[in-house]
Amino acid sequence: MSGSGSPPVVLLVDDETRILSALRRTLRREGYEILTAESVAEALRILGSRPVNLVLTDQKMPGMSGLEFLEQVAARHPAVARLVITGWPEEIPAAQIERLGIRALIPKPWDDDQVRSALRDHT
Amino acid sequence: MLWEEAPLSQSSPLVRIAVVQPRPGSALPDLGTVGSLDRLGREATLEVLYDAASCSDLAAREPIDLVILEERIGEDDTHQVLAALRAAGPPVIVVTTGIDEELALDVFRRGAADCIAATSDYAEVLPVVALEQIRRWRAARERGDTERRIRWLEHLHEAIVNEIPAALVVLDGQGNVVTVNPEFSRIWGVSAGEVNDRPLESVLPSDLLESGGVGEVLSRAAEGRSVAPRIARVIDGERGMRAFDVRAKRLDEGRLLLVLSDLTEVELLAKQVDDLQRYNENIIQNMNSALLVVNLEGRITYANPTAELILDTRPGGLRDSPVWDWFPNTPREEVLISRTLTENTRFRGAETVITRASGGIVPIGISCAPMSDRDGTRLGAVAIFQDLTEIKQLHRQVLQTEKMASIGQLAAGVAHEINNPMGFIHANLCQMSEYLDDLDKVWDSMEALRKAVRELERPTMEEGGFAPGDASITARSGEIPRAMAALDGVIEKVDADFLISDFGKAVRESLEGSERIRHIVQDLRAFSHQDTAERVASDLNQCLDSTANIVWTMMKHSVSLTKQYEELPPVFCFPMQLKQVFMNLIVNAYQAIEAGAGAEGGRGEICLRTERRGDLVAVVVKDNGTGIAPDALDRIFDPFFTTKDVGIGTGLGLSTSFNIVRRHGGTIRVESLEGQGTTFEVLLPVEVPDPETETAA
């Protein structure tokens, strides 16, 4: 956590709103300012409009995948910590993880404590 | 010898005489020609003619012995008759009305045999002259016949000796060669001049004379004994084994005729026929298909071992049995072979069942064709069939494989769909458990407050009242505000208001998630079991809809799906198989969109439509995806043809669909424009098609 002052800003991206609301519950007590986006387009708009410390994105989404989204984040907002939450973490190539600077892969369904500690480590 | 007589003219015992005289209606008086000839009696027949043309016709048509030509018919006709008969015809006696030397001279020059004048003794002279002419004519004709006969025999002899495909050799009493025919020269490469007077041993190969038995045949013939023809086989250095039919005949003056007919070619042909027969027999005996030949009465005249094996009979057990006995569940006139016999129709690859001797039923694919001889006379029918038991099993396996492949394509999408609700349900449950812990704290504080309130009330109940200012009461009443403050503190700390409202939300969201999973599992289950053996009346709208739902979970929201279902009559079908067809078409549509409109960010659309068309039900699947290239369009129903990436398509989807639809007696059609989209149309009959038409396609 970034000491005093304004709380860290976390952006959750998933096309499934129920996932966003469940993640919100998981992170309720973590002291973040939580933003959510149901599409990559919306997420990029948010990133362009205000500072964000960390993105946690789903991989399989219609239109653009999580990795393609992170490609853009890495290029345009390199300071933003990048995490992926996916049902098929083994399908993400190690080379991609390294190249895109992905800090953590969180499996879906997730363990609350795992999510919380992963986010704590990278904010 | 019949053909010796054939070219020779007949000599009839009757005398035929043609009289050419003026027509009866003419003004000329009758010379009495016919009357005088009547004296010749019954032996002579007369033909009375009135012009030259009919006389020539008659002479060309029938043998005539004599023509009596009355010169009065006119100079032209007289000349014509003489000219026509001059070369080879019968003699012509010209009759003139008076003595006319000049005229007589002219007709003799023109070939007349005689010329007499119809004077007073005409009636007596004519028969005498006529008989004399006939006698001379017949004698000359017989002489000519004999000469012709000799020439004919010589010619015949020469033709036989030269052309007969047998070697002829004439030997004198000492066994020396007198002459040989051209065939002899051809076979042994010697001319008649070369072998003349040489002993036969020096002309023919020795093994033919000795081991071939020629010598033996000759010596028996020389003794005048009858000899049965022998077959002599010799090894010819250049030509291999040669065979000869050997005969001999004693001629006049102690001469012998030896006839050697070359049978090598015949034996070779016989061997070829034999080989061919063996070859055919080999094929028929060993082929994997059953073969039946039936005669016009429908009785089996031939069955190969495979037929006996399939029908489980002993060798020869099918012979003479009526063919329809093996199709006891089919009316006799509908048995395909019967139809070939009665209607002359051919069948190819028709599917039916046949009953084994033991009573078991075997599915077969059968082809029948009428059988006739070279002249087109019908002999019966021939049927070839295969046991389809194994093929049917394989077919079921292919169906299952294709189904599994389709499910494989779906699995990723479905798993994703299940994984999301599983994810949030799980997270929500964890959270709700934490909420409960917090709410427990609120509960504990509430319990403390309730206890404080009860403490305050207790003495009143025990003592029947309480006095104001009682120290213990004051102390105890002080507990209530403390407990109250503690409760407020906990409520605020755990954010109980939020917890209560969010708890409900989490429960509702989780219930919704579990409902989604339940639907997906329900739809998936529809694909996990096999069809029944019998067709069942099914609602195709329901089949299409449940299939669309399961595929929809995969397609997610990038594609819009519209449904236009018309009310349909129940269709007798194998619903699982048709669901597989629908799934295939919808998955293809989706993949075409992903590769086309979807990939370019356009809006993919799939339209499902059902409608009744007379006796048919139509199911239409239309997409606005990439479309199919014209060259691929012809091949999409071919097995293993695919344009999809390795691992995406098996290439069996549409070919399996095509077969399923065909088995239902229906058709499947496709229209496609590259870059515009594709429309598949499945047409199915409402009625159960009878098994004939089902397989006829």
Give the model confidence (pLDDT) of B106-129 as tens digits: 999 999 999 998 888 888 889 889
pLDDT for residue B161 is more than 60: yes
Domain-embedded: residue B281 = no
B299 shares its domain with B322: yes
Q: How far is A108 from chain B (nearest CA, A)?
A: 6
Domain-embedded: residue B373 = yes
Residue with tokens 């038409």: B693
Boundary of a domain, candidates B487, B522, B557:
B522
pLDDT, residue B645, reads 55
For chain B, counts of helices (H) and of strands (E) = 22, 22
B515 shares its domain with B620: no
Residue with tokens 């009143």: B460
Q: How far is B408 from chain A (nearest CA, A)?
A: 16
Band (B408; pLDDT cuts 50, 70, 90): low
B243 shares its domain with B202: yes
B476 shares its domain with B491: yes
> What is the four-CA torsion angle of B109, B115, B118, B119, rounded to 10 degrees?
110
B551 shares its domain with B661: yes
Here the CATH number for the domain that contains residue B7 is 3.40.50.2300
Interface of A with B in 38-57 (CB under 8 A): none
Least confident segment among B47-56, B240-249, B389-398, B676-685: B389-398
- B423 to A109: CB separation less than 8 angstroms, yes or no: yes
For testing contact with chain B, the best of A14, A16, A39 (most B CBs within 10 A) = A16
Q: Token pair for residue B4?
A: 């010796």
Q: How many CA atoms lie within 13 A of B245 on its CB side?
A: 10
Domain-embedded: residue B276 = no
Cα–Cα distance measured from residue B3 to residue B476, given in angstroms and rounded to the nearest whole number: 159
State the average pLDDT for chain B: 83
Please give the helix or strand (H or E) that residue A34 lies within, else none. Answer: strand A33-37
Sheet holding A54-58, edge to edge: A33-37, A9-13, A54-58, A81-86, A102-107
Global pTM? Answer: 0.44
pLDDT in tens, B599-609: 555 678 899 99
For testing contact with chain A, the best of B424, B559, B603 (most A CBs within 10 A) = B424
Percent of chain B with pLDDT over 90: 28
B552 shares its domain with B680: yes
Band (B440; pLDDT cuts 50, 70, 90): very high
Number of domains, chain B: 5
pLDDT in tens, B609-651: 999 988 899 999 998 888 887 777 776 776 556 666 544 555 5
Q: Token pair for residue B212?
A: 């071939």
Boundary of a domain, candidates B367, B387, B407:
B387
A16, A25, A62 ranked by CB distance to B558: nearest? A62
pLDDT, residue B416, reads 74
Cα–Cα distance measured from residue B556 to residue B600, given in angstroms and rounded to the nearest whole number: 17
Please give the helix or strand (H or E) that residue B684 lies within, else none. Answer: strand B677-685
A19, A25, A112 ranked by CB distance to B506: nearest? A25
Cα–Cα distance measured from residue B391 to residue B469, given in angstroms and rounded to the nearest whole number: 103
> In chain A, what are the domains?
9-121 (3.40.50.2300)
Q: Which residues of B touch A28 (CB under 8 A)?
A: 431
Q: Token pair for residue B560?
A: 């819009």
Question: Torsions phi, psi of B333, nearest 5?
Answer: -75, -10
Least confident segment among A18-22, A107-111, B138-142, B423-427: B138-142
Any B CB within 8 A of A22 CB: yes
Here the CATH number for the domain that contains residue B239 is 3.30.450.20
State the average pLDDT for chain A: 91
In B445-530 the beta strands, taken as DSSP E runs, fall at: none
pLDDT for residue B1 is more than 50: no
Domain-embedded: residue B681 = yes
Q: Which residues of B touch A110 (CB under 8 A)?
A: 423, 426-427
- Measured in whole angstroms, the distance separating CA B517 from the mean position of its chain's CA atoms is 55
pLDDT, residue B576, reads 83
Q: How far is B578 from chain A (nearest CA, A)?
A: 30
Give alpha helix (H) positions in B87-225. 101-109, 122-163, 182-188, 192-195, 206-209, 214-222
Domain-embedded: residue B280 = no
pLDDT in tens, B226-246: 778 888 888 776 667 788 889
B85 shares its domain with B213: no
Domain that holds residue B128: 2-159
B155 shares its domain with B177: no
Domain-embedded: residue B278 = no
- Measured in whole angstroms, the distance separating CA B535 from the mean position of its chain's CA atoms is 31
B7 shares its domain with B55: yes
B548 shares its domain with B668: yes
Q: Between these two residues, B59 and B237, which has the higher pLDDT value? A: B59
B437 shares its domain with B496: yes
pLDDT, residue B526, reads 64
Cα–Cα distance measured from residue B343 to residue A29, given in angstroms and rounded to the nearest whole number: 89
| Buried residues in A58-85 as b, exposed as e (16+ CB within 10 A) | bbbbeeebbbebbbebeeeeeebbbbbb
- A22 to B558: CB separation less than 8 angstroms, yes or no: no
pLDDT, residue B554, reads 66
pLDDT, residue B424, reads 94
Here the CATH number for the domain that contains residue B554 is 3.30.565.10
For chain A, counts of helices (H) and of strands (E) = 5, 5
pLDDT for residue B254 is more than 90: no
- The answer to whether the beta carbons of residues B78 and B103 sit under 8 Å apart is no
Residue ranges of chain A with per-residue pLDDT less than 70: 1-4
Band (B7; pLDDT cuts 50, 70, 90): very low
Domain-embedded: residue B652 = yes
Cα–Cα distance measured from residue A44 to residue A37, given in angstroms and rounded to the nearest whole number: 9
Q: Which residues of A touch B603 (CB under 8 A)?
A: none
pLDDT, residue B686, reads 85
Domain-embedded: residue B275 = no
Cα–Cα distance measured from residue B414 to residue B660, given in angstroms and rounded to the nearest whole number: 25
pLDDT in tens, B307-336: 999 999 999 889 999 999 999 888 888 888
Boundary of a domain, candidates B504, B522, B540:
B522
Q: Any idea how long chain B is?
A: 697
Interface of B with A in 524-583 (CB under 8 A): 556-558
The nearest alpha carbon in chain A to B600 belongs to A63
pLDDT for residue B5 is more than 50: no
B536 shares its domain with B495: no
